[in-house]
Structures are given as C-alpha cells and as structure tokens.
Amino acid sequence: MKYDSIIFDLDGTLWDGSETMVKAFNDALHQVGINVTITAQTVRDFSGMKMDDIFAKHFGFVPKEELQAFEEVYSQKEKEYIAQSGGKLYPHVKETLDKLKENYRLFIVSNCMKGYIESFLNFYNLGSFFQDFECFGNQGFPKAKNIRLIVERNHLQHPVYVGDTIWDKESADKAGVDFVHAAYGFGKIENPKLKIRKFEDLLLL
C-alpha cells in the first residue's frame, strides 16, 4: 500500500458549504451597514484561501474601521448558519470514508475559521471517521504548516493530501506531502500527477 493516511481539505473536497457561507457573508455585510451582496460563486472562487487573505483581497470595499466588526459578525453567523443548515455533502462521501478507514488513517486540514470543521463533523455525524484535524482559525498557521502539524503529531509515514484548489496543491508541496486533485471541486489544476473525478475514486489509490 503506497499511503498509510489521507488528509482532506474540506470545502470543495468533502462538501460544498458555499450557499450557507454566502448567507453569512451577506448578512454580516448588511449588519455593519454595507450595501453590497456577493454570490455563492464568489465564495467558491476564494475557497481554499486563508481567511485573513479572503477579507483583505475580496472585501476591500469594507472600510478599515468596519473590518473588525464585519469579521466578528461573519464568524458568529457562519457558526450559526452552518450548525443550522450545513452544506452539501458530495455524493458517496460517507460510505467511501467508511471503507477508507479500514486501510487508512483519516484527517482534515482546512483554512477555515475555528469551529467550522467541528460544525461539519457534527452536522453529518462524521466525527468517528477522522482521528485529528487542524485549521487556520486555531493558531493562524498557513495550510502547509497545519499539514505538517498533522503529520508530525500523528507520526504519519506516508500521507497524501486531497484538495481541489491550486492553493491546496501548493500547500501540500510545501509540506512535502503527495497531492491528489479533487477535480469535481471548485478549482482547476493543470496536469496534476494524481486526480479523482468523484470522491469514491479514492478507493482506487
């Protein structure tokens, strides 16, 4: 067996939470008095970026004096809405994870806010599949460092990272971990070495 463990990205890899997240973004904008509305496609386009980069690069229209309030309101609304509505789990994720855990140790690393992974796991009752997870919101570390943290504290020997964006690939490369492109997700990557077209293709690793 080539790999002993699989580390997953979350948005665009395990589920699509963009419809719920865009509601949180728009409600936060309107609550701080900014009459701008973004789309779920915009959320999918910046999925995979660090949250501070998302706020800096995609919400430049938010006045600096309102930025902290916007971030705080968004963070709270994201937790509330994800807990209430969740996201759209990709087809065959749960049954595939059930089979994968027989041969691999499973983990999650995402650039999301603190609490987002927990909300995902709770909403679909998937906590038993994953041995550990890490995110940007915990300590502000970039994804590459969080991948290394998972590798090191769980003593992984031959891990692979599964993600859908170029930022996922770059992070896996920096972490020294093989990468599998989830081509059904949000991002496009030219000529990835390993690619899956649907989630259950992971059973062919």
Structure tokens that stand for 119 in this block:
């909300």
**Confidence at 1, pLDDT banded by 50, 70, 90:** low
* pLDDT at site 170: 96
Q: Go through the chain and tell me how many residues it has.
A: 205
| Secondary structure of residue 48 in the 3-state scheme | coil
Residue 137: phi and psi, rounded to 5, are -65, -20
203-to-20, 44, 168, 177, 196 alpha-carbon distances in Å: 29, 26, 21, 19, 10
Q: Is the dihedral of CA 160, 163, 164, 168 positive or negative?
A: negative
Q: What is the pLDDT of residues 34-54, one digit of tens each?
A: 999 999 999 999 988 887 888
H-helix or E-strand containing 42? Answer: helix 40-46
**Confidence at 56, pLDDT banded by 50, 70, 90:** confident
Name the residue among 147, 146, 185 with its Cα closest to residue 165. 185
Mean residue pLDDT across the chain: 94
Q: Which whole number is the average pLDDT over 97-101?
A: 98
Show the DSSP H helices in 47-142 as ranges. 51-58, 64-85, 93-100, 116-124, 136-139
| Secondary structure of residue 132 in the 3-state scheme | strand
